[in-house]
Amino acid sequence: MVVPSQIHHFHFSNCLMNASGVSCERKEELAALDDSAAGTFITKTATLEAREGNPQPRVETFALGSINSSGLPNQGLPYYLQALADFQAAKPDKTYFLSVTELEEEKIYKILEEVEVSDFKGLVELNLSCPNVIGKPQIAYDFETTDRILKRVFSFFTKSLGVKLPPFFDPSHFDQMADILNAYPLAYVNCINSVGNGLVIHDEQVVIKPKQGFGGIGGETIKATALANVHAFYQRLRPEIAIIGTGGVCDGRDVFEHILCGASMVGVGTTLYEEGEGCFASLTEELEAIMKEKGYKTIEDFRGKLKYMD
């Protein structure tokens, strides 16, 4: 019950993984993901030092998805490097993802410098897209800053690096960002992060406390946006840059469509939050059933082969 995949030169037993931010802050949660049907896990986005994040309540589900304004709560980079070292020691043939970011540009370089000299051998994801840090914009919406950061990062960083992107909504923005990303030896892009600054109301009151109720939207309601971003970047990026599709994955058909749009792996967030790690087994079974029905042996048989109307 596995659907193998590959990112860069790393191989995975299953194309499914968690979305950073959900059930991955502590080692116990990572262990549960490691023991699930998912092909790997990605850590909570780490900062140099531990953060408590925004006030509670900061996560809530609703009929068509979820809203969160967590604000990057995490245990700090040293915690995740040690945890990953332990997982690597126990399963040396398995590859893991480490997510990192910082709130100031110079600290982004500092955290990646620390990862560079560490013993971590997996994939590193630079989160350029958190919409929920109070007073801080999403970096990737500033094309000049994104280009400047990547240029400096790749002047010293030699490990496999991907970036997590926010959703884009205009073809010109897809073009501009792809031009920037194609200039660097990225292993992959992860799209999308939550759709920033939505508002969910119950009765006459917002459902989360931070930012007067504004938060990132995930789940079923963002699927169309996520698929559009996956396919737009699949059309524009060099083939050496893989894509992790994240957003709106509720069943095996959603996984199938992410891959059809060009994703090599698929991240699961809201469904993991609602159903727990068992969702990876059911999603895999549903994906396998679709592939069997259509006669596909591997995901490469249909990845990126979305059909258009004449």
DSSP single-letter state for residue 221: G
76 CB-near residues (< 8 Å, 6+ apart): 46, 47, 48, 49, 50, 51
Nearest to residue 80, comparing CAs of 101, 59, 94?
Answer: 101
Contact 265, 12 (CB under 8 A): yes
Cα 206 from chain centroid (whole Å): 26
How far apart are alpha carbons 153 and 66 in whole angstroms? 33
Contact 87, 94 (CB under 8 A): yes
130 is catalytic: yes
How far apart are alpha carbons 191 and 266 in whole angstroms? 10
CB atoms within 10 A of CB 94: 17
- Which one of 15, 24, 130, 279 is the catalytic residue? 130
Residues known to be catalytic: 130
